[in-house]
Structures are given as structure tokens and as C-alpha cells.
Structure 1
């Protein structure tokens, strides 16, 4: 199942129902090497630990959600495994390695909920790979080029509303829907948000925040898990993802990584 981040661990994104709850519910078990671009992230703040997901976009860069790393002192990352790692493959000081979007503010509806993590260099293999970014032309004159198309989300989040996170990586298929579905449900401007849902009650949940939404045909990273409904992960409501195509210029400015540019 896709799983949302535990409600107590994440900030409010949009007033009303929306909050950051990430998991994979009613999903399928990932196979070995099926998602070599997915990273399991732990953010450490004082005595608290916040689990999240992330996507490898280059040998030294990972993309995740800004709320995942907010107020973190350290972040640890595990690469290339479908099991949730207890021992970090890499542990980084957040102030030197984490770059949240400069306009992100959890107290201001959580817009621009996206962040980059500069990592030590990792060598690519059959288990560890980057995922291409989309082009910046995915939206023109407000038109969503992804409308009605299917994408895949993966994560180690909760498998149901009372879950505690999964030890195995799960995935699910979601369909991109009109942004109006998220606006109607959450009652706020959805600037920079990609809206997706499943008719079979598949969803992300606690612990899936920051994880990837990858276009099934183009094999591009089109979304970053951001928020879902306070009513619960099993409800099957529309989900909010940061629209990566809206942030390609910022990603390139900070990291030097651009669309189809896998450094």
C-alpha cells in the first residue's frame, strides 16, 4: 500500500482537510530493483525521527518534500533496497546539505513543499539509479499535459490508517486528475500542485511524504508526495503532489541538474 506520513509528524499544508499524511495503502509489494531511484530518508530533530521518501536525480542529489526536512538537524539516507534500512547508508548534517525551496513556509499553506539534499557521491548500479526530471513545458497556459494519465508512487509508509510504517517497499498506480478536485476538497489555491487519485482506494499515507510520482510511460519524475486528506489514507480521496515540472528551473539553479540531465 502507499502510505502517508504520520499526522503527528508533519505540518499542516492547506487549511481544512489537507495535511501531510503519506503512505501506500492497498498497494503492491515492490520487486527487487523495481524502483532503484527511491531513497528512504530519516530526518532527526532532537529526539524525534521523521520517516520520508525521496528520489535520486543525480549521483549527488536527492529530491524530497520540504516538510520532511523542516527543523531537522541530521538526515540519513538508505539506497538501493526494498527493505526499510535500520542502518543509514549515509548521514548528513542538515544545515550543510538540505536546500528547501526558498518560498516554502509550513505556516503559509505549505506551498512550494519541495527540497533538495546534496549527498555524498553514490555510484550507480542495477540497484541504484537516478530518475529523469520532466521538461518545463508540462504546463502551458494552465493546461495540464498529464491529465488522465497514470503514474506510479512508491514508499515505506503506513499500510492502513492505524499503521506504523512498512518494512517493505510498496507501490500503487494513480491517475492524474483535474486540479479542481483538490481545490474542491481542500478549499485552497493549488499553485504548484499536481492532483492524483485512484478509483481502487490506493493511496499514499504516513511515511510516504517526499516520495516519487513517476509517469508510467515517460518514466519521468512528475510529482513529490506532499499531502492528503485528514479523513484518512484508506478513504481514497485526491492526493496533492508538488508538480516537479514547475520546479525544474529552481532544481537546475541549486543543483545543476536539469531535465534529461542525469549528472
Structure 2
């Protein structure tokens, strides 16, 4: 999404409110609690932290050692507005960035979709090198080509994933998957219908690719809260689901 200033501005404004971000932030928080209990002194790196919404959420939960890096100058500027000393760095150069520093947990949400098949394995290896023993990598990813739509065009997504992709990639980087689930399963028919409609509009020429809009917008309050409650219920009741627009994985080192 680098270079799309208007999308970063929307993200900065809506991360704390939009149902999808709220659900993802809580999913990461529950993962950290499951791995480290009540500890709030663990070292956390958000690699590809965007405008800092995840970091801000974790800070409000009491975590004290938070670090962020991102390859977008726009994103880094918004993080600085939140008071985070985030470092501007292209993640393809992560191997050379503070190689001696390791973390208990690394978060890398919706980042891998911007990397080519050639660039992604070295990034995973660099992330693995930054994990402490018993550390975890937490990653959310765009899933299933069926969910492609205007959002992908608007934010520059290169690819979508299925679990089999990471089952192949992670061992090559010295990592193993602890847990994986697709999510927004309960909402997937609605999301799929919306994305299929978007694709039809593009095919028929009713919508121009250069005018594509992302899904980062705030619905009316009642709908936003309803969508959030549905996603929250899914997370509580269904530990693993077979389908959804996102793939959430928890990984540790061998």
C-alpha cells in the first residue's frame, strides 16, 4: 500500500472504530495473553505497523516494550502522531536492521500480500531470526482469491493466501505453525457477495480500476457494531474455521 496516502489517512482515522480492525486487534491481544499470560513487559515488534493502530491498542492494554517499523513514510508519520518512535525501513532490508535485537512476539498483519514469491522467503527468515527462544510470530493475511475485489486494487494487494502456502513457506524459514484459522467465517457469504459484485462492476466497465475504493470506511453505527459482535462471537465459539476472507496464523521457531 506504499504511496497510497489517502488510504493511510483513512486507516489512521478508523482503526479504533471499524469492526474489522477492532476484531483483529482483539484476536492478536488474546494470542499474546495465551502465550505470555499477564506479562506486559514482553518485547513486541510490529513489522509493517501501518499507522500504528495495533501498537496503540496494545499500549492501552498495558504493554510497555513496543516497537514498530514500516516502509511507508505516510504510515510512519501517522505513528509519530500517536507518539510511537517507529522506524522507516523497507522490510526487504529487514535482515540488515538491528540484527542483534530479538523479540518475544512479532506481529506482521496484512504485509505478506505485498511481497513477491521471491521476496517473501527472505522476509520470513529475517523475521525468524528476530524471535527469541519460545517467541511467536503472529500474522493476519488476505485469504482466498474468491475474495478479490476493488479493495485489492485500491491498496495494491499482490496476492492472497491459503493455509497450504504457509505450510510450505514456514518450515523453509525455520518456523512452524502452532495454530491457524480463517476468520470472518460467519460473515463470509456477505463479504463474498460484495466482492463478486465489485468484480462484476469492473468486468462490465461500470467501475474503473483507477477509481477503486478500499473497504476501509465506517458503516452506520448499528451495522458496524453488529458486524463486530458477529466477528467477536465467532472468535469465542469457533476456534478454527475452514473459510473466510482472512487467514490468522500463530508461528514459532523450531
Q: Do they fold alike, i.e. is TM over 0.5?
A: no
Greater relative contact order: 1 or 2 (C-alpha under 8 angstroms, separation 6 or more)? 1
Judging by fraction of residues, say which structure has more helix.
Answer: 2
Asked which structure has the greater CA Rg, the reply is 2
Q: TM-score, normalised by structure 2?
A: 0.29
Q: TM-score, normalised by structure 1?
A: 0.28
Judging by fraction of residues, say which structure has more strand.
Answer: 1
